[in-house]
C-alpha cells in the first residue's frame, strides 16, 4: 500500500509540473472526439482574426514539448499544439496508418475542428516532415513553414543512424526504463537539464505502456519519411533551423532542405541538439518572429 501511495505521489508531482508549464505559457488543454478516436491539443486563445500558429512535435514526443517556446511568443498569436495521432492523449490505434502523408491528411481535417483555414506551421523532427508534406500538398492553408531539425531529408547519416545500422540498437524505442529515458535525453539535447529521479521514473513507466504503438509509428514513419520529392513544390515562406550538435538528424540535412525549398532561409544554432525549441526557446522565438514579420505577415 505504501508503495502505491508513493508511486501515486510521484505521478501527481509529475503531472503538477506539466500543468505549471502550461499555466505559465497560457496554454489550456482541449479535447474532441472524432470518428477515428480522440484528438487532444493545447491552445492559447487570441482575439478574433489573430494569426494562428500550429506546433507539431516529433516522434515519441507530445504537445507539452512546446510550452517553453509558447511562453516566449506574443499573445497576439493563437497557438495550437496537438498531440499527433499515436502520441500523448490523442488516438493511438494500432489499425490506422501513421505514415507522414496520413498524418498530414489528418492535420487538414484538424484545421476544420479548430475552425481555421490559414496557419503558420512549425514542426520538429517527425513533425517537420509532416509539416513539409502538408505545405507541399495543401499550399493554400500555409502562411509560413518553419522546420526545426526536421526529418525528411536524410542525406547524411547521423550518429544515431550509424549506431542503428551498426548494431540494430534504437534508443528512441528503448525508453521503457529509467536508464533508457536518461540515455535518450543525452541523445536529444546538447546539455540536458537536471531532471528529478521521480520524473524519469514516471516518464519511463508511461513509455512502457506505449511500446507497441510506438513501434508501429516508427515503422510507418521509416517507410514514408523521405520528403525530398515534394520539397521543390513548397511555396510558403520557409525558415529552417537546426542545432549543430544534433545527434539524431545530421545538421547537413539542413542544407538539403535549404537547397530544395526555393527562397528558404537557414539558421544553424551552436551548442544546440535535436530540440531547439526546448534547448534555446528564446533564440528560436526571436528567429521565428523576425522571419514571420519580414516574410509572412
pLDDT tens, 243-253? 999 999 999 99
pLDDT (0 to 100) of residue 3: 85
pLDDT (0 to 100) of residue 62: 98
Identified catalytic residue from 97, 125, 144, 224: 125
- Residue 87 catalytic? no
2-295 belongs to CATH 3.40.47.10: no
Q: How confident is the model at residue 273 (pLDDT cuts 50, 70, 90)?
A: very high
- Residue 264 catalytic? no
pLDDT (0 to 100) of residue 35: 84
- Residue 57 catalytic? yes
CA atoms within 13 A on the CB side of 171: 18
- Residue 274 catalytic? yes
Q: Each residue of 138-197: pLDDT tens digit?
A: 999 999 999 999 999 988 889 999 998 999 999 999 999 999 999 999 999 999 999 999
Identified catalytic residue from 87, 141, 250, 274: 274
Helix (H, G, I), strand (E, B) or coil at 186: helix
Identified catalytic residue from 40, 43, 57, 224: 57
Query: Residue 297: pLDDT above 90?
Result: no
Query: Residue 1: pLDDT above 80?
Result: no
Identified catalytic residue from 117, 162, 169, 252: 252
Q: Which of 78, 86, 88, 79 is nearest to 40 (CA)?
A: 88
Determine how many CB atoms are found less than 10 A away from the CB of residue 48: 6
Q: Each residue of 19-59: pLDDT tens digit?
A: 999 999 999 999 999 988 899 999 999 999 999 999 999 99
Amino acid at each position: 500500500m505504501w508503495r502505491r501511495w508513493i508511486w501515486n505521489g510521484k505521478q501527481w508531482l509529475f503531472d503538477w509540473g506539466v500543468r505549471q508549464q502550461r499555466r505559465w505559457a497560457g496554454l489550456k488543454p482541449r479535447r474532441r472526439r472524432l470518428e477515428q478516436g480522440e484528438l487532444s491539443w493545447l491552445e492559447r486563445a487570441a482575439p478574433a482574426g489573430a494569426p494562428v500558429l500550429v506546433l507539431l512535435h516529433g516522434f515519441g514526443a507530445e504537445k507539452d514539448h512546446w510550452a517553453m517556446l509558447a511562453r516566449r511568443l506574443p499573445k497576439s498569436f493563437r497557438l495550437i499544439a496537438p498531440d499527433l495521432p499515436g502520441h500523448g492523449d490523442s488516438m493511438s490505434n494500432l489499425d490506422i496508418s501513421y505514415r507522414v502523408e496520413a498524418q498530414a491528411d489528418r492535420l487538414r481535417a484538424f484545421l476544420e475542428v479548430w475552425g481555421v483555414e490559414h496557419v503558420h506551421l512549425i514542426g520538429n523532427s517527425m513533425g517537420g516532415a509532416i509539416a513539409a508534406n502538408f505545405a507541399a500538398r495543401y499550399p493554400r492553408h500555409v502562411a509560413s513553414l518553419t522546420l526545426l531539425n526536421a526529418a525528411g531529408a536524410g542525406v547524411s547519416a547521423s550518429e544515431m543512424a550509424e549506431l542503428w545500422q551498426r548494431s540494430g540498437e534504437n534508443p528512441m524505442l528503448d525508453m521503457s526504463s529509467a536508464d533508457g529515458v536518461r540515455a535518450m535525453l543525452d541523445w536529444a539535447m546538447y546539455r540536458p537539464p537536471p531532471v528529478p529521479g521521480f520524473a524519469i521514473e514516471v516518464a519511463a513507466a508511461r513509455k512502457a505502456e506505449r511500446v507497441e504503438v510506438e513501434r508501429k509509428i516508427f515503422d510507418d514513419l521509416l517507410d514514408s519519411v523521405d520528403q525530398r520529392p515534394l520539397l521543390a513544390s513548397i511555396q510558403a515562406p520557409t525558415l529552417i533551423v537546426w542545432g549543430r550538435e544534433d545527434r539524431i538528424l545530421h545538421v547537413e540535412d539542413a542544407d538539403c532542405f535549404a537547397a530544395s525549398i526555393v527562397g528558404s532561409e537557414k539558421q544553424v544554432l551552436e551548442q544546440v541538439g535535436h530540440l531547439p525549441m526546448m534547448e534555446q526557446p528564446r533564440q528560436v522565438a526571436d528567429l521565428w518572429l523576425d522571419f514571420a514579420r519580414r516574410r509572412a505577415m
